[in-house]
Structure 1
Amino acid sequence: MRFLAVLIAIAVIFPSSSHQFWPGFYDSSCPGLASIVAQVSLRRFQQLTNHPAQVLRLFFHDCFVEGCDGSILIGQTPQSSVERDSVANRDLVQDAFDTIDLAKQAVEAQCPGVVSCADILAMVTRDMLILARPGWNLALGRRDGTVSRADSALREIPSPRSGLDELLKNFHSKGLNLLDLVTLSGSHTLGVSHCSQFSQRLYGVNTSLDGTDPSLDPSFAKELKKDCPPGAPVTAIEFFDKAAPFTFDNHYFKNLEAGRSLLTSDESLLASFPSREIVRLFARDPPLFFFSFAASMDKLSRLGVKTGGAGEIRRSCNRFNAQ
């Protein structure tokens, strides 16, 4: 276990930055930026109990399609379907979009036309996670994307029903590895899942007499069936961690080992020896998980960033400037 912990610590190396993408990018052009965004983040954190999970999910879904460029924020257009329209994004919560809009409005009032929506989304996500527990030194300088397509979201965002091989293929295509996959899956210590995303584990397993996934703890499966009966409405939800649903901790990994995970994608982390060992380590060493999570979030926040003359600085986060 100690050897594996050392390997994880060695693997967690924060990337270097450039003059176009670094934490001090707005020091001269918008010196009060961090405070402006933090005030909005804190207010929304206090108003909305599940907000860190909602914003984190929005950020993840943005970065996995076209890179971290704010393309998920574009609203519906009559000309084409955008990322937000995709079935992969149908459960994203409007409150998260509203928070980014509020932060953008506050920033524009002080620094008009300077700060991208992509950077504001990244900053709010980091702020929400600092308020919940972990943080990292966020590089800035992202430009907003000018493309948002629903079919790209469906193709690029991992499915909650994916197995380990499919998840790894997806993560590897983004330059992320097994450690990042297990680590970022730990964000499921926060928030909720819709019953429809895991109902097949309760009623659709042909190899069991009652259709229940045998990897589920029987008492947990019974609880889930009570909360998510057959034909449950599409709005029916379940907390990932009922014991502490709004606390960022390592309970996700403890629950996973105990057969108390919701999604097939979660359970799949136990399918290989390396991923299973990382789960076991994080279940026993919270500080190591927090350290690894900060590093993986830093890597995630750098995916496909547009800098320099690429993209644009949107005036409004839900519209391209050309609209």
Structure 2
Amino acid sequence: MMKTTIPSSIHIHVAIMLFSLLGGLSSAQLSTNFYSKSCPSALSIIKSGVISAIKAETRMGASLLRLHFHDCFVNGCDGSILLDDTSTFTGEQTSLANNNSIRGLNVIDNIKAQLENSCPGVVSCADIVAVAARDSTVVLGGPSWNVLLGRRDSTTASISAANNNLPGPNFNLSALLSSFSKHGFSARELVALSGGHTIGKARCTTFRSRIYNDTNIDPSFASSLQGICPRSGGDNNLTPMDPTPTKFDNCYFRDLLKKKGLFHSDQELYNGGSTDSIVKTYTFNPSIFSKDFADAMLKMSNLGPLTGSSGQIRKNCGKVN
């Protein structure tokens, strides 16, 4: 058999191509130590900002957690939710799920300003949102997880994408399962992430239909809420998501067993359907809920990030550079 000799120049060319491919793959990966050299104080600055915001208003912890969720479910965790409307696009802030309800933008702006003073042009707004969600959960007594870093910021936003991708408070179980499945989440992860409703407050307009029209609701619970949320008017009147709105616990799931879920979509998780057993598991095993929530949050924070040369590091989170 004739032996074929491959020129050394081809070996070198192949090696260069392989190195380039591997380099491209590594640049597209997030890591826990992304800012360890470029901005070593990044995580402590974000944490301090979150703690200060929650001390000023405890509800802000829930708002920052929700901000991250509403960012990631619309074209990935790219900070697009932070972009204000411009003459060239209408962003996500006035979408059905965000209009008059999205909160915490000023907290992110304040943290970003501090980071720009310490290490200009280094830390993305998308990463700030991701870390702030984790820190908020921890401050309110919830689990922690290692946030992977290195996201870059989107240069555009879309109101239609927000309207089409964010689940609503009146969704039934089928719609919830479909919405989360589109983003790669299982039924168990859907229930775990819904447990984030254990903190914070909700506006009357989001639960009015449930307390006047649903049958799978505790009558005394409905009656008490009707005193806060009339059939008309009072859209922005607030009520706690569960009896312990400033503490991250499993009280949310205990309420579902009593037919006291605040949103129609909440109670759908325990209404004779496929997720009933998961709700029971989290009701009687809070440690399992905590672990599953942390795992699901880590997975969610890795939805479609912009990395490498994609996007940009915004200097101001509300507008592109």
Same fold (TM over 0.5): yes
**Structure 2 Cα separation of the partners of residues 66 and 41 of structure 1:** 25
1:181 aligns with 2:182: no
The runs of 5 or more residues in structure 2 that have no matched partner are 1-24
User: Corresponding residue for 2:277?
Assistant: 277
Q: Trace 1:147-158 onto structure 2 (pairs within 5 A).
A: 147-158=156-167
User: Corresponding residue for 1:172?
Assistant: 181
Contact 1:239 1:245 in 2 (8 A): yes
User: Corresponding residue for 1:22?
Assistant: 31
Q: Trace 1:226-305 onto structure 2 (pairs within 5 A).
A: 226-241=227-242, 243-271=243-271, 273-305=273-305
User: Corresponding residue for 2:126?
Assistant: 118
User: Corresponding residue for 1:3?
Assistant: none
SS at match of 2:227: helix
User: Corresponding residue for 1:37?
Assistant: 46
Compute the TM-score of the two structures, normalised by the length of structure 1.
0.88
User: Corresponding residue for 1:219?
Assistant: 220
**Structure 2 Cα separation of the partners of residues 58 and 83 of structure 1:** 11
Aligned residues: 295
**Structure 1 Cα separation of the partners of residues 74 and 178 of structure 2:** 15
Residue number among 86, 91, 104 corresponding to 1:77 in the alignment? 86
**Structure 1 Cα separation of the partners of residues 120 and 171 of structure 2:** 42
**Structure 2 Cα separation of the partners of residues 225 and 45 of structure 1:** 29
**Structure 1 Cα separation of the partners of residues 129 and 273 of structure 2:** 35
1:46 aligns with 2:47: no
Contact 2:94 2:100 in 1 (8 A): no
* Deviations 1:68-110, CA, capped at 9 Å, x for gaps: 000000012233311112122114344x001100111111111
User: Corresponding residue for 1:307?
Assistant: 307
1:109 aligns with 2:120: no
Residue number among 188, 192, 198 corresponding to 2:207 in the alignment? 198
User: Corresponding residue for 2:153?
Assistant: 144
* Deviations 1:244-263, CA, capped at 9 Å, x for gaps: 11110000000001011111
1:129 aligns with 2:129: no
Q: Higher Cα Rg: structure 1 or 2?
A: 2
Point out 4+ residue stretches in structure 1 off by more than 4 angstroms. none
SS at match of 1:238: strand
**Structure 2 Cα separation of the partners of residues 117 and 176 of structure 1:** 25
**Structure 1 Cα separation of the partners of residues 207 and 233 of structure 2:** 12
SS at match of 1:89: coil
**Structure 2 Cα separation of the partners of residues 56 and 319 of structure 1:** 22
Residue 128 of structure 1 deviates from its aligned partner by: 0.9
Contact 1:66 1:304 in 2 (8 A): yes
SS at match of 1:227: coil
Contact 2:61 2:133 in 1 (8 A): yes
Query: What amino acid is aligned across from residue 125 of structure 1 in structure 2?
Result: A
The runs of 5 or more residues in structure 1 that have no matched partner are 1-16, 206-212
* Deviations 1:104-139, CA, capped at 9 Å, x for gaps: 111111111111100011111111111112110110
Residue 232 of structure 1 deviates from its aligned partner by: 2.8
**Structure 2 Cα separation of the partners of residues 272 and 168 of structure 1:** 15
Compute the TM-score of the two structures, normalised by the length of structure 2.
0.89
**Structure 1 Cα separation of the partners of residues 100 and 255 of structure 2:** 23
SS at match of 2:93: helix
Contact 2:216 2:271 in 1 (8 A): no
**Structure 1 Cα separation of the partners of residues 234 and 78 of structure 2:** 34
